[in-house]
A and B are shown apart, each in its own frame.
Chain A
């Protein structure tokens, strides 16, 4: 006797029922996700932990506002744009000083003044405790599109053991006590070690940031800002001799003085690893490298200011800052505002200070015992606490991605030592002006 065979129709029906059944358990999950406040940010694993701590504390105080994390991939701005263009913009978004303007210009971000007006007490306290230059970074076309939450400007890390071993004087502990380009170069030269064959075993200086921006930072320290005004400029100072001399000084460190690795030298070992392994005496970086260096076995380091060029009057870092923004089409604006207030306000900032993973942006948090306790490894703490107030700005314009691509192409030959920085004067400023004009 044969069993009744399953016919095609029965099989298809069965598959349909099974498929529908498989979907049912996920429906309540979708519902939870829809209700939760989504928070998009980019972070390495340690930074993500610090943010989870802030979210946990927020959830403890606001149990009625569940928060869902949306962790970014390698290109956060592109990912954010894709989400928002597809109509799935997270409620709270991390904003970067150089790229937020393009999103604000397209109406993706909410003007936070619309919410702050209803919260005058918070706004007054925040203004009193804020560092104006950082707060104003997110002011664009009459609106406030994010509240700053961390300072990520650059400064110099230095290997205290290598300095002592070479008998090089300790570099400055305060932004008000500058050292000069010449003193910096002399230190880098004294700390660069070469074999008889010319192979470098220890570099005087390494750059762990973006070479184009680092060149601009040296230019800023030579007394020339990127532009004037900061927001929606119509011209960048790439035709200013002081700016170009600063760029040239930076380029010469690798191309002429050979105290810093070229792109080729840094191919086999990253500049960050060179400093962490004790194979570089100074490193240009922001606070985001602090934990990596702190974890490097046997590395004794401290922090110092950037050197001042012959045309400069005041040494500075750069306004690298990230902020928290709210999507303009967020259906949970009020909840998002509560979260932004919490993370960028005194409580969240104190948690950031205690974590030691970021430099907070409120004066109260910068001066807190928690921040000092989290940085016991270093003695020159004022480089960090005074850094935000000693930061120069980069241009805030929706056209920045285009300018960035153009700078990358144009600075290449200068940084490789094939052309001088002065040669940029011929065509680059005009090309940038055209981009700014069209923006």
Chain B
């Protein structure tokens, strides 16, 4: 019986490995190999046409001396803060509103999730119309309030604000889904007990809801930060491949794309990609560590 059992177990394990194999192969070919190759390229001068020349850490040294790297990093930090903070706050508020047992709440939940299904490029094209200085929806609405037209995408000072607005609009649904799911998992008895103790709605929210969804909040912050840090598509469509006007929206994603596909400097672009990865790794590590410290 035990011999038959172990034979069955071995067969099952073999079948399991076989089932995993295609995915594992895909992971190696499409993830591990490109990652390793990009790390190798970052130490070379490569344009993908001529043989790559090993240049050691030259690309990294040039990158840190490049004044545009400083501009791109600053813009990326501004964009990340300007989009992640409002995204988290707004989605927290919306999730709290949607986490109620009201008639027709499903309709509101569906509506709020719609932007999640829209392609980033399509969304950016639509927002281009919304941001039109003369006939854009946003300026028409500001006109009703007797506020002058804002040159959203044309003026360097407003272009970054516009990008953050679009990013928040795009990021809120995802964050809301995660936070709403976390809120759904909180034991109703806790609220009931708090209500009996006389705690108001706001008090219950900050004393029960927020602490109990901290893990989900942390996840949302990390994912939103990673997304914002890697922003490319919406910037490319809204303000162009040069991160204009001037260098107002020149973020790291645009810099990477420009060097790789515009200038053919793949080695340099790979070095930038690994620097971005290192920054994100440190930020994520810090966030996780903070989360763990709070838990203990």
Contact = CB atoms under 8 A, between A and B. Distances in A.
Interface of A: 78, 81-82, 84-85, 102, 106-108, 263-265, 267-268, 401-402, 405, 408-409, 412-413
B263 A106 contact: no
B151 interface: yes
Contacts of A409: 242, 244, 246-247
Interface of B: 47-50, 132-135, 151, 154, 156, 242, 244-247, 258, 261-264
7 contacts: A107-B50, A267-B134, A401-B264, A405-B258, A409-B244, A409-B247, A412-B156
B68 to A, nearest CB: 9
Contacts of B134: 264-265, 267-268
Nearest to A328: B49
Contacts of A82: 261
B49 A268 contact: no
Contact of B264 (A102, A263, A268, A412): A102
Given A106-B264, A402-B263, 16 more contacts: A78-B261, A106-B47, A106-B49, A264-B134, A267-B154, A268-B132, A268-B135, A401-B262, A408-B242, A409-B244, A409-B246, A409-B247, A412-B156, A412-B245, A412-B246, A413-B246
B91 to A, nearest CB: 31
Contact of A267 (B48, B132, B246, B264): B132
Contacts of A413: 246
Contacts of B244: 408-409, 412
B261 A81 contact: yes
Contacts, number: 49
Report whether over half of chain A's contact residues are helix, strand or loop; otherwise say mixed. Answer: helix
Contacts of A85: 48-49
A42 B47 CA distance: 23
Contacts of B258: 405
A78 B260 CA distance: 10
A267 B247 CA distance: 20
Given A106-B47, A268-B134, A412-B244, A405 B154 contact: no
Contacts of A264: 133-134, 151, 154
Nearest to B134: A268
A361 B144 CA distance: 55
A263 B154 contact: yes
B178 to A, nearest CB: 35
A401 B132 contact: no
Contacts of B242: 405, 408-409
B246 A108 contact: no
B131 to A, nearest CB: 9
A75 to B, nearest CB: 8
Nearest to A413: B246
A108 B49 contact: yes
Nearest to B250: A409
A240 B133 CA distance: 36
B280 to A, nearest CB: 25
A405 B262 contact: yes
A365 to B, nearest CB: 34
B154 A107 contact: no
A402 B264 CA distance: 10
A109 B156 CA distance: 39
A401 B261 CA distance: 10
Contacts of A81: 261, 264
Contacts of B47: 106
A267 B131 CA distance: 10
A178 to B, nearest CB: 34
A405 to B, nearest CB: 5
B264 to A, nearest CB: 7
A84 B246 contact: no
Nearest first, the 10 A-B pairs at minimum CB distance are A106-B49, A85-B48, A268-B134, A412-B246, A264-B133, A268-B135, A408-B242, A401-B262, A263-B154, A267-B132
Contacts of B133: 264, 267-268
A82 B262 CA distance: 11
A111 to B, nearest CB: 16
Contacts of A268: 132-135
Contacts of A267: 132-134, 154
A211 B8 CA distance: 73
Given A264-B151, A268-B134, A107 B49 contact: yes
A28 to B, nearest CB: 29
Contacts of A402: 263
Given A267-B134, A402-B263, A106 B154 contact: no
A101 to B, nearest CB: 12
Contacts of A84: 49
A439 to B, nearest CB: 11
Contacts of B262: 78, 401, 405
Nearest to B245: A412
Interface centre among B133, B156, B258 (most CB of A within 10 A): B133
Nearest to A410: B246
Nearest to B247: A409
A140 B134 CA distance: 46
Contacts of A78: 261-262
B246 to A, nearest CB: 4
A415 to B, nearest CB: 10
A248 B282 CA distance: 47
A217 B262 CA distance: 24
A163 B276 CA distance: 57
A263 B49 CA distance: 38
A82 B245 CA distance: 27
A107 B245 CA distance: 34
Contacts of B245: 263, 412
A106 B50 contact: yes
A299 B50 CA distance: 51
Nearest to B149: A264
Contacts of B48: 85
* Interface hub of B135, B156, B244, B262 (most chain A Cβ within 10 A): B262
A263 B153 CA distance: 10
